[in-house]
Amino acid sequence: MYDVFIGPFVEFEFMRRALVGAIALSLGGAPVGVFLMLRRMSLMGDAMAHAILPGAAAGYLLFGLALVPMTMGGIAAGFAVALTAGLVARFTMLKEDASLAAFYLISLALGVIIVSMRGSNVDLFRVLFGSVLALDDPTLYLLAGITTVTLVALALLWRPLVLDSVDPGFLRSVSRSGAPSHLVFLGLVVLNLVAGFHALGTLLAVGLMMLPAIAARFWGRDVTSLAAIAVGFGIASGYAGLVLSYNMETPSGPSIVLMAGVVYLVSLVFGPHGGLVPTYWPARHREA
């Protein structure tokens, strides 16, 4: 048991770094995922995860696998796509989800082409699926910084974000903080997707953001408990995915997201708030 569940993290520094990275992504990304879910913007997270790829790829094309250029390029591309999609939705007949879908497909194709212009298939695989086992100190500092900014921003804007998620009309009637808090929230989405990109790649960056948040919906009722449960699910998924990856020699990023998917499926079946078993096969004492 020790060799399977504890030994890898004691013996190998890269496993400890990967676990710290997964914890940081869960602490920052899972609460953001809860708000995306409550706002019915879950698919926006996936679209935005692909939207950052051209900017990160441009940084890679110019400077190689350098942390700062790829990060800044990803942030710039994410904000550009978010703003452009919003403008298209406002001034044309397209809805925002359709506009985001269009830009997401364009961004993914463009990013892959840019990476292919300079890099090898190994570099392309790293950009698409991440390298959580290769996290170095600067990348961990970046993840920790983004997590800190996210938690501080959520603490300061918690009330307007909650109101804007459950009753935006009431928030508009009593305060003007709805629009600014929404813009800050979009910024947090982009930042956490960029953090996820460095660890899990553009195709899986949204995994630790959305899957734990969706799974938490079957276990909690209020927003605070949903966020706490989602963070716990995210950390557990990161640990379980790394254990699976080490012992079964599977890719680490997909293994982490797969474990988050297992948590979701278990929650879907057994979760006390809307799970299949409690809903359609209630306890016998309730039938009495």
Q: Mean of the pLDDT values across residues 243-264?
A: 95
The region of weakest confidence among 2-11, 43-52, 128-137, 270-279 is 43-52
Q: How far apart are CA 267 and CA 162, in angstroms?
A: 23
Locate all alpha helices (DSSP H) within the chain, ordered by sequence.
2-5, 7-11, 13-38, 42-51, 53-63, 67-91, 96-118, 121-129, 137-166, 168-174, 178-200, 207-216, 223-248, 252-270, 276-280, 284-287
Q: Mean pLDDT of all residues in the chain?
A: 89
pTM higher than 0.95 for the full model? no
User: In this model, does residue 7 exceed pLDDT 90?
Assistant: yes
Give the model's pLDDT for residue 286. 53
Q: How far apart are CA 163 and CA 178, in angstroms?
A: 9
Give the model's pLDDT for residue 116. 86
What are the chain's domains? 2-287 (1.10.3470.10)
Q: How far apart are CA 70 and CA 60, in angstroms?
A: 6
DSSP 217-250: TTT-SSHHHHHHHHHHHHHHHHHHHHHHHHHHT-
- Residues 271/220, Cβ–Cβ less than 8 Å: no
Crossing angle (nearest 10°) for helices 53-63 and 96-118 = 20
